Structure 1
Amino acid sequence: MMKLVLVGLLLVHSTYGIHKKQTIGRETCLEVINHVRANYAKEHGIANMNELGYDKKLEEKVENLLRNYDGCPQPSIISQNRFDTFLDMENGEKSDLIKFISGSGSSMMACVQSVCSKTGKPVFSIITDVNSTPAIKGSPGAKCPSNRIAGYKGLCAQKTGHKGYARKIGVFGGVGRVIEGWFD
């Protein structure tokens, strides 16, 4: 599972020509992560998995953490101030990825692509807010919080500003098919 997720994310990176210090295409990253969360909710019967929104301000938090490691962190999840940051996701552990994806109450995220100055290798990091809302068993979207409605593939979307991700996934062609198989 981890390898398929990483392959999908790497394909998204190469498709969109990521360069040093440039953030990953925000909309692309958001769509990919929400798609994975929707599949996870379906596979595990989570009725209250929130759809994530993108918060550009969170990119700065990731960049500040990366400075602490001279841009070359070990794969890890750093939890602080109600946020989880998954540093160097491409080389991380399966358990870290599952922790990141499975937080049903999370509602916002950001992605940052950087380059380790020592090795020249890309470092892909993601941040989400942490919400202690426990997962509720049931059909995806069946038990959304009161301020959300069942939306994209059963994720609980904000009542205002929901984007139609389903029609955009088709734009990715082969990448979309890889993403579809992540949790099958």
Structure 2
Amino acid sequence: MTPVAIFTRVSKTSQDFDRQINDLTKYAASMGYKVVDSINEKVSGSKTNEERQGIVDLLKLAKDGAIKKVLVAEVSRLGRNTTEVLKVVDALKESGVSTFIMNHQIETLNADGKANSMSQMFLTLLSEFARMEKETLIERINSGLDEARRKGVKLGRREGTTKNNDALLAEYKTVVAQIHKGQSVRNAAKICGVSTATVQKVKKAMSTAKA
């Protein structure tokens, strides 16, 4: 059985990986693949590969020879930075690992292990589209905020809604526990399924509480 890794990503803590995992698991089963790991990230796809623990873990699996394929639902799950996405794919290829993009049914390596030049070109285009889509979304959000400001709408948290330190620590007890165990910000965020920014806020609140 071909050993594969499932890779999923969402950008918001309120989102989940269920649909991606279910679809990719069903595909793996239909192809007779053996899923040796499922790497699930909650992180912005615009970050560099070095800032993403999921990508780091994925490349280690490939380098160690634990997998032969990586299954992703769509190219934007690998990231929204074209250069970073292509770097991941190239690093996987160097380890003899093929990347399969399910929604377009494309694979970066042929059955003989050689690079699929057509899929490489297609992947580059898809990555660029994902980046442009992200930029368009940001532009729309900023445009909406500017329009709201022109209309006199007060933006930000409502008065009295900012969480105090006690409330923050009570809400993120699991993060507090991981910090007490000596976990890094990145690892604590991954374990608890929150952003690194949230972990940083919790650490700051903990330091203030000790002062």
TM-score of Structure 1 vs Structure 2, range by shorter chain: under 0.3
**TM-score for both structures, normalised by structure 1:** 0.26
Which one has a larger percent strand, Structure 1 or Structure 2? Answer: 1
> Structure 1 or 2: larger helix share?
2
Greater RCO, CA 8 A, separation 6+: 1
Q: Report the TM-score, using the length of structure 2 for normalisation.
A: 0.23
Higher-Rg member (1/2): 2
